[in-house]
Structure 1
Amino acid sequence: MKQPPALLEIRNLAVEFQMHGTPITAVKDLSLTLRAGTTLALVGESGSGKTVTSQAILGILPRSARISAGEILFTPPGEETVDIAQLHPDQPAMRALRGDQISIIFQEPMVSLSSMHTIGNQIMEAMLLHRDCSKQEAREATIEMLRLVGFPEPQKAIKRYPFELSGGLRQRAMIAMALICRPALLIADEPTTALDVTVQAQILKLIKSLQQEFNMAVLLITHDLGVVANMADDVVVMYHGEVMERGPAKALFEAPRHPYLKALFSAVPHFDMRAGERLTPIREIEHDIDHFRRLRTPWTEEQMTAGPHLQVSQLSKSFSAHSGSWFGGGEVHHHLAVQDVSLEIGCGECFGLVGESGCGKTTLSKMLMRAVQPDSGKLLYNDRGRMIDLLKLEGEELRAFRPKMRIVFQDPFSSLNPRMTVLNILVEPMQIHQVGDAASQLQRARELMALVGLDPRYLNRYPHSFSGGQRQRISIARALALDPELLIFDEPVSALDVSVQAQILNLLKDLQHELGLTYLFISHNLAVVDYIADRIGVMCRGQLVEVGRREQIFRNPQHPYTKALLAAVPYPDLSRPLDFELLESGRHNVPELWPDPYCAPSDGDLELIEIEPDHQVRRQPIEQLERSLMS
């Protein structure tokens, strides 16, 4: 079969940055070919040169960067070949290509979209710049494009602002903006990294279908080999700016040759892992645990049997919103974020909590930390044999309790103060709780750095000088500064490279085992939770719909929502493609559309019912189901 013509051909590309007068090579001798209607995946960790390559293609390199060698040959359908490397970024010929023939979807739509303009205005702008059309024509084309990318009620959506949209809808708006001019080449730079697995599957399906409709070439930039397996025709693997391996996706997945690509495969968590098997990151974290092990006193049998480490009983929380103007008025809408959640976390256990964005996971964690006051329910904490009602703690009692339970957030760059050194970040909790003097606090900070595998000499650096994985390790060190017993992790690895993710997950498993810690691990990625958790709770619309041991959840899932989450995890395996059709309609998380006995009848409620030891599913009771069938 005759191959389609080359749309983009990069030959021996080199890009360098000037850092204090010294040239630093970010991309070295890169060559690749992308043909019309095909998908080429550019794979590698952060810092491998993937995004710099996309910036060079679009002519949007930072001021400190320049193309020092090579060609970027772009041949639009029916037009002459252009060497983008020879065009000035502000040249009319480059501006005519950018946004018209070549478009890009960025990783974080909330950062890329203007919060001051409606999405309709932002999508229309691209068309008005590149097409000779009226505002009315551009508006109609925008409505049609929003319909194509799956927006509900596109006529109303054009008037909405980015902050009014979910992460998945913001990403769809970005795709609509990128495709409004029907480009020949779409660059997708980590388009699904921070999205739920179900939304990710929907976005990937959308890109595939639009690619077929417009016969568009896609340059997919990602570190997720599961995404590559479901999207790419060809793959180029990069490391430190150089190509390590290239070829058809089938050849690279079935017989990877380069050690770096093999190492990437070994770092991906999957459901087929054997008991006790560890992920293999490219660079393992060497951490020093001895000092902390000597300081900690093991729990006695009597303390552990006094009750679970944390017992949550019928916890609920609702939020109110006004639909009127800035000055009040209008209707008050109540949103039930968490509804009658009950769970137990045993001493030394890792309990995984999974679900999509908006299901109530983070609200629940904030209530456990007493950052948000619940409307109703009960929280009991086992303080080494003494059961404490956390909701009754106030003032100094609550302040004295806080060191026992700490939290690690999703984005370490947002949660670490950029104006504080790592030393100040680590000693701040000790200063607030008046633990030790300055000398002992400094010593503790050094020991914390060693605990998470970082050089204590980095204590005087600021957060911006660390990689994402290193910043997350600093967040973990800060959480451990006051020697807590229970840690809450809220999506701690969702935005990290697979190898860095493997580093952090292995570190957390080691710390839990060696220090006897208890974890609540919150994530939307079931494969990650499968690797680290002992028991798992699946949450949807503020309720737990299934709870069980990890092997029960994955080998014998019962609830339709759990099955949908499992189906949405992309495997780095060509023989196990995603079931796009199952998730395309977005019906998987609508309780009214679930089949019996998981759909609540009009004359009754659903209950968490034990279907086997330690395995509970939210469904209709047998008696109630029999009544509804008879009627």
Structure 2
Amino acid sequence: MQVIKPLLAIRDLAVEFNLHGTPVPAVKGISLTLWPGRTLALVGESGSGKTVTSQAILGILPANASITQGEILFTPPEGETVDIAQLSPNSPAMREIRGDKISIIFQEPMVSLSPMHTIGNQITEAIRLHRDIPKAEEKQLTIEMLTLAGFPKPEQAFNAYPFELSGGLRQRAMIAMALICHPALLIADEPTTALDVTVQAQILHLIKSLQQKLGMAVLLITHDLGVVANMADDLVVMYHGEVMESGPSEALFRNPQHPYLQALFAAVPHFDMKPGERLRPIREIAHETSAFKHGLGAKTEAQRQAAPHLSITNLDKSFGSRKGSLLGGEQSTTRAVFDLSLDIAVGESFGLVGESGCGKTTLSKLLMGALKPDAGSILYNAHGEQIDLGSLQGEELRQFRRRIGLVFQDPHGALNPRMTIMNILREPLVIHKFGNEQSQRQRAKDLLALVGLSPRFLNRYPHSLSGGQRQRVSIARALALEPELLILDEPVSALDVSVQAQVLNLLKDLQQELGMTYLFVSHNIAVVDYIADRIGVMCRGRLVEVGRREQILRNPTHPYTRALMAAIPYPDLDRPLDFQRIIGSNYSDPASWDSPYAHGPEQHTEWQQVAENHLVRIAAGPALSNETGEMGEKNAPEARL
């Protein structure tokens, strides 16, 4: 009888980094086993050693890192067992394994793909390194793999450059490149972290289906327990380079034993939270707001009684592009924001939900004055005075920008790597001539205290901070001029669940204590549910559903809202993703929606009242029944949403 060996068996592995002559342990004697055809999830926060473990398996550790003990036993199908830990990273034996028998999908496809080469060129390079076949056959194999990876037009994608593809298609290209040689083991390092929930569900389904077709094993590295619940057979939980708990996913999800795993589950936002319940991060943030509370309550109340904080009416913004040569070619227009009207009350937290490309970030730029609308108006309530953003220019616009703060999605890209934290926090104060150098330095200390960071961070650079710390610096910078309205553009999408819980709790506290208004932009409805009072769902530049958070969550009415809800992976084995429903529906195409929501690109639409303060967009036609079974009111005034 043939004995089945593990595909990968790591025994007592330790990895150290040499930092200026000082050894720093990153992985401390971990052991794990991955069997053929199964999926093993490696879970933990940033810095727990997950990615270092995957680099050791592939022999791509940084130059200042080394394996100090342990074995990495790899047994390919119909092959002899090899201890990868004993192989030189540049040896022919290691190069034969890397990319052929073991492949990897990286977290950020735009960084991992060469911007100077076509998709076809990059995928065929992987074939040329490991196969000796004619060029025509290389192209045919690549197109077949692109088809398998779900490209709608694989021949066209073969000649496309990465910047021409969406985030989801770039990740599919990475998957095609990793699987072109049919590896026995696929390492997926945070393959869906920065993707929309719907695109994430498509990518997870793709990995799962290709795993079954090719018979490969998957080592899934992630911090998202919802992804683990839908993908993994086995689970290993890491913390500070050590294994805290391991075993079948069923056992660990049903009955987590280690306090760290229990804490990870408690940090995940979910729809079953009770009113007033808070997320429980592993480490709480103690923050100080006393320097930022000068008469704010009275000002806010007077402002609230005057008018909505922000009143957007019939806003339009389009972008033109030319396909072909610079001097000619076909002109196309994309409507990024289309006939959008919305009121946001003073002190309200409004959540804006939708996929990438739906117009959320364009709307944020319009509100900041970074873009000018083609049509429509934006009125800002400045303590009773109505300011028309479209009329502001030059110095007036510069002065107005003090009233609105913006927190970006990627804290690493948002902070200048050549500036210290002190200079980053002083920069808006210097630009707006806010105090002298001494007062600005004191203000920088107060800002760090506001987001729960020590003054010792002031002389450090962004690269020496963790992702969560960098995002807290970004929040502090946005609050430097004491804005009344804060726009948060996907502020936690790239963070671990525990750090995400820290930042969300901090944002919730700051809003209540400082009396600010939030526009919280995200593609994750579970996150928006925790932070927002009302939610607006956006598709193709338009709002399609607006209501109080409990209305949107308990009674999602629009097909697009229901599709977003269905695509959220729950950290619960009893609530798996319905992949077929997500993959099989063209959820973002208005023409494919059910009646009465379906409409053409130029067809007139109107608002339908489903319940009090709960509105949904339908094609002009028959009324829609509300929750009580009665006919709802047609033509609800869009400007009063």
The aligned residue for residue 518 of structure 1 is 517
The aligned residue for residue 118 of structure 1 is 118
The aligned residue for residue 144 of structure 1 is 144
The aligned residue for residue 185 of structure 1 is 185
Q: CA 1:60–1:194 in 2, change beyond 3 Å: closer, same or farther?
A: same
Deviation at 1:304, TM superposition (A): 1.1
Q: CA 1:157–1:80 in 2, change beyond 3 Å: closer, same or farther?
A: same
The aligned residue for residue 416 of structure 1 is 415
Instruction: Check whether the contact 1:310–1:379 (CA below 8 A) recurs between aligned residues.
Output: yes
How large is the Cα RMSD of the aligned pairs? 1.5
Task: Establish whether residue 288 from structure 1 lines up as the match of residue 288 from structure 2.
Answer: yes
Deviates more, 1:616-625 or 1:511-520: 616-625
**1:374-389 to 2 correspondences below 5 Å:** 374-389=373-388
The aligned residue for residue 484 of structure 1 is 483
**1:258-297 to 2 correspondences below 5 Å:** 258-294=258-294, 296=296
Deviation at 1:606, TM superposition (A): 1.2
Deviation at 1:603, TM superposition (A): 9.0
The aligned residue for residue 635 of structure 2 is none
- Deviation track 1:318-372 (CA, whole Å, cap 9, x = no partner) reads 00111122x4211211111110111111110000000000000000000000101
- Deviation track 1:101-140 (CA, whole Å, cap 9, x = no partner) reads 0000000000000111111111111111111211111110
Cα distance in structure 1, aligned partners of 2:497 and 2:623: 46
Deviation at 1:199, TM superposition (A): 0.3
Cα distance in structure 2, aligned partners of 1:83 and 1:129: 22
Deviates more, 1:228-237 or 1:123-132: 123-132
Is the partner of 1:280 in helix, strand or coil? coil
Cα distance in structure 1, aligned partners of 2:231 and 2:524: 19
Is the partner of 1:454 in helix, strand or coil? coil
Deviation at 1:298, TM superposition (A): 2.9
The aligned residue for residue 53 of structure 1 is 53
The aligned residue for residue 207 of structure 1 is 207
Instruction: Check whether the contact 2:48–2:239 (CA below 8 A) recurs between aligned residues.
Output: yes
- Deviation track 1:517-550 (CA, whole Å, cap 9, x = no partner) reads 0000000001000000000000001100000000
Q: CA 1:529–1:596 in 2, change beyond 3 Å: closer, same or farther?
A: same
Deviates more, 1:357-366 or 1:428-437: 428-437
Cα distance in structure 2, aligned partners of 1:446 and 1:213: 56
The aligned residue for residue 318 of structure 2 is 318
Is the partner of 2:298 in helix, strand or coil? coil
TM norm structure 2 = 0.96
Cα distance in structure 2, aligned partners of 1:59 and 1:410: 32
Instruction: Check whether the contact 2:107–2:189 (CA below 8 A) recurs between aligned residues.
Output: yes
Instruction: Check whether the contact 2:59–2:89 (CA below 8 A) recurs between aligned residues.
Output: yes
TM norm structure 1 = 0.97
Cα distance in structure 2, aligned partners of 1:298 and 1:237: 49
Cα distance in structure 2, aligned partners of 1:193 and 1:399: 35
Is the partner of 2:306 in helix, strand or coil? coil
Cα distance in structure 1, aligned partners of 2:181 and 2:246: 31
Identity %: 69
Task: Establish whether residue 358 from structure 1 lines up as the match of residue 357 from structure 2.
Answer: yes
Q: Residue type matched to 2:204 in 1?
A: L
Cα distance in structure 2, aligned partners of 1:366 and 1:175: 33
Cα distance in structure 1, aligned partners of 2:600 and 2:522: 30
Deviation at 1:236, TM superposition (A): 0.3
Cα distance in structure 2, aligned partners of 1:598 and 1:115: 40
Cα distance in structure 2, aligned partners of 1:568 and 1:541: 18
Is the partner of 1:305 in helix, strand or coil? helix
Cα distance in structure 2, aligned partners of 1:409 and 1:307: 28
Deviation at 1:187, TM superposition (A): 0.2
Cα distance in structure 2, aligned partners of 1:603 and 1:512: 40
Cα distance in structure 1, aligned partners of 2:571 and 2:622: 44
The aligned residue for residue 630 of structure 2 is none
Deviation at 1:582, TM superposition (A): 1.5
Q: CA 1:606–1:239 in 2, change beyond 3 Å: closer, same or farther?
A: same
The aligned residue for residue 456 of structure 2 is 457
Deviation at 1:622, TM superposition (A): 4.2
Q: CA 1:68–1:442 in 2, change beyond 3 Å: closer, same or farther?
A: same
The aligned residue for residue 13 of structure 1 is 13
Cα distance in structure 1, aligned partners of 2:170 and 2:602: 38
Instruction: Check whether the contact 1:128–1:134 (CA below 8 A) recurs between aligned residues.
Output: no
The aligned residue for residue 552 of structure 1 is 551
Cα distance in structure 2, aligned partners of 1:158 and 1:142: 8
Q: Residue type matched to 1:81 in 2?
A: T
The aligned residue for residue 194 of structure 2 is 194
Task: Establish whether residue 40 from structure 1 lines up as the match of residue 40 from structure 2.
Answer: yes
Instruction: Check whether the contact 2:314–2:340 (CA below 8 A) recurs between aligned residues.
Output: yes
Deviation at 1:299, TM superposition (A): 2.6
Is the partner of 1:298 in helix, strand or coil? helix
Instruction: Check whether the contact 1:322–1:328 (CA below 8 A) recurs between aligned residues.
Output: no
Deviation at 1:192, TM superposition (A): 0.2
Cα distance in structure 1, aligned partners of 2:154 and 2:208: 21
The aligned residue for residue 470 of structure 1 is 469
The aligned residue for residue 165 of structure 1 is 165
Q: CA 1:34–1:205 in 2, change beyond 3 Å: closer, same or farther?
A: same
Instruction: Check whether the contact 1:37–1:218 (CA below 8 A) recurs between aligned residues.
Output: yes
Q: Residue type matched to 2:157 in 1?
A: A
Cα distance in structure 2, aligned partners of 1:128 and 1:352: 48
Deviation at 1:573, TM superposition (A): 0.3
Q: Residue type matched to 1:423 in 2?
A: M
The aligned residue for residue 246 of structure 1 is 246
Task: Establish whether residue 220 from structure 1 lines up as the match of residue 205 from structure 2.
Answer: no
Is the partner of 1:382 in helix, strand or coil? strand
Cα distance in structure 1, aligned partners of 2:306 and 2:522: 29
Deviation at 1:608, TM superposition (A): 2.1
The aligned residue for residue 629 of structure 1 is none
The aligned residue for residue 591 of structure 2 is 592
Instruction: Check whether the contact 2:448–2:454 (CA below 8 A) recurs between aligned residues.
Output: yes
Deviation at 1:412, TM superposition (A): 1.2
Cα distance in structure 1, aligned partners of 2:585 and 2:196: 12
Cα distance in structure 2, aligned partners of 1:371 and 1:38: 49
Cα distance in structure 2, aligned partners of 1:133 and 1:71: 35
Q: Residue type matched to 2:522 in 1?
A: S
Q: Residue type matched to 1:315 in 2?
A: L
Is the partner of 1:513 in helix, strand or coil? helix
Instruction: Check whether the contact 1:358–1:541 (CA below 8 A) recurs between aligned residues.
Output: yes
Cα distance in structure 1, aligned partners of 2:169 and 2:58: 25
Deviation at 1:3, TM superposition (A): 9.4
Deviation at 1:481, TM superposition (A): 0.5
Instruction: Give structure 1 stretches of 5+ with no counterpart.
Output: 627-631
Cα distance in structure 1, aligned partners of 2:270 and 2:167: 25
**1:52-71 to 2 correspondences below 5 Å:** 52-71=52-71
Cα distance in structure 2, aligned partners of 1:554 and 1:512: 22
Deviation at 1:586, TM superposition (A): 5.5
The aligned residue for residue 105 of structure 1 is 105
Is the partner of 1:279 in helix, strand or coil? coil
- Deviation track 1:292-318 (CA, whole Å, cap 9, x = no partner) reads 124635336443121110011111100
Deviates more, 1:298-307 or 1:607-616: 298-307
Is the partner of 1:596 in helix, strand or coil? coil
The aligned residue for residue 440 of structure 1 is 439
Cα distance in structure 2, aligned partners of 1:506 and 1:276: 12
- Deviation track 1:437-487 (CA, whole Å, cap 9, x = no partner) reads 111111111100100000012111111110010000001101111011000
Is the partner of 2:293 in helix, strand or coil? helix
Runs of 4+ in 1 over 6 A off after TM superposition: none
Is the partner of 1:299 in helix, strand or coil? helix
Alignment size in residue pairs: 624
The aligned residue for residue 336 of structure 2 is 337
- Deviation track 1:373-392 (CA, whole Å, cap 9, x = no partner) reads 11000101111111111111
Cα distance in structure 1, aligned partners of 2:17 and 2:303: 58
Instruction: Check whether the contact 1:14–1:70 (CA below 8 A) recurs between aligned residues.
Output: yes
Cα distance in structure 1, aligned partners of 2:155 and 2:482: 54
Q: Residue type matched to 2:277 in 1?
A: E
Q: CA 1:602–1:35 in 2, change beyond 3 Å: closer, same or farther?
A: closer
Instruction: Check whether the contact 1:609–1:621 (CA below 8 A) recurs between aligned residues.
Output: no
